């Protein structure tokens, strides 16, 4: 049903949906690990982020706890390629969970705006990270990450703009995707990765 609504409301979405695999959010089941990985991956290429995260897991173990992360030495974390600031940030996440064990469970029941407000109180967690958390950890289907470079590039390409869209323009275009903006973003990311070229008369 949601795909039909997107297709009927936006010609670009219709074309992407018809040419790409069916939407699959591929959610994780551990928000704590998601947030740690997201912080480690910030401002890195996909390949570099994957390499450093693999080294991190080799160091601490796959099933690490908040206590283990909180106690590990920063120099050990830095030895696998994590910057000093990111070491402190992921320890902040661990400390938050130790101070409030039900933190992530509480977020599951909170509205999007409240999740962003609460999670960004952890130093090192910004708006983009909070939005990715909403999408891929909590499975919220109406999130628009306006600061995401991939989304900006995809909108510029598929909506045939001369430059990357401003936040205002991106929000305006995305009005047609509500209340399924996460799903629309998924198709934009997929379309960019697949190097899809759309017909010029769609816009």
Mean pLDDT for 15-20 is: 95
Same domain, 198 and 121: no
Mean pLDDT for 121-147 is: 94
Q: How confident is the model at residue 46 (pLDDT cuts 50, 70, 90)?
A: confident
Q: What is the CATH number of the domain that holds 162?
A: 1.10.1670.40
Residue-range definition of the domain harbouring residue 9: 2-25+145-202
Same domain, 77 and 152: no
Closest by alpha carbon to 60, among 70, 51, 50?
70
d(CA 29, CA 27): 7
Same domain, 71 and 123: yes
Q: How confident is the model at residue 201 (pLDDT cuts 50, 70, 90)?
A: low
pLDDT digits 0-9 by tens, 109-123: 999 999 999 999 999
Same domain, 131 and 176: no
- pLDDT at residue 202 in the model: 65
Q: How confident is the model at residue 75 (pLDDT cuts 50, 70, 90)?
A: very high
Same domain, 97 and 61: yes
What average pLDDT is seen over the chain? 93
Same domain, 182 and 167: yes
Closest by alpha carbon to 20, among 190, 189, 162?
190
Q: How confident is the model at residue 2 (pLDDT cuts 50, 70, 90)?
A: confident
What is the pTM for the complete model shown? Answer: 0.88
Same domain, 83 and 19: no
Structural domain count of the chain: 2
Q: What is the CATH number of the domain that holds 68?
A: 1.10.340.30
pLDDT digits 0-9 by tens, 86-111: 999 999 999 999 999 999 999 999 99
Same domain, 56 and 104: yes
% of the chain with per-residue pLDDT over 70? 99
Last residue of a domain, one of 105, 136, 167: 136
Last residue of a domain, one of 83, 102, 136: 136
């Amino acid at each position: 049903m949601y795909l039909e609504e997107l297709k009927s409301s936006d010609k670009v979405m219709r074309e992407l949906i018809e040419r790409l695999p069916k939407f699959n959010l591929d959610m994780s089941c551990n928000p704590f690990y998601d947030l740690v990985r997201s912080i480690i991956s910030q401002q890195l290429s996909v390949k570099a982020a994957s390499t450093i995260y693999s080294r991190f897991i080799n160091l601490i173990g796959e099933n690490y706890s908040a206590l283990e992360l909180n106690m590990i030495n920063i120099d050990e974390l830095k030895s696998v390629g994590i910057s000093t600031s990111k070491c402190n940030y992921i320890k902040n996440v661990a400390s938050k969970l130790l101070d409030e064990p039900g933190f992530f469970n509480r977020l599951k029941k909170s509205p999007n705006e409240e999740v962003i407000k609460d999670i960004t109180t952890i130093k090192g967690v910004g708006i983009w990270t909070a939005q990715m958390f909403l999408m891929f950890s909590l499975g919220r289907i109406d999130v628009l990450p306006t600061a995401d470079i991939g989304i900006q590039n995809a909108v510029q390409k598929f909506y045939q703009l001369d430059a990357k869209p401003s936040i205002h323009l991106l929000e305006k275009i995305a009005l047609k995707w509500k209340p399924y903006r996460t799903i629309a973003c998924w198709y934009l990311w997929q379309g960019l990765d697949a190097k899809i070229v759309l017909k010029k008369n769609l816009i």
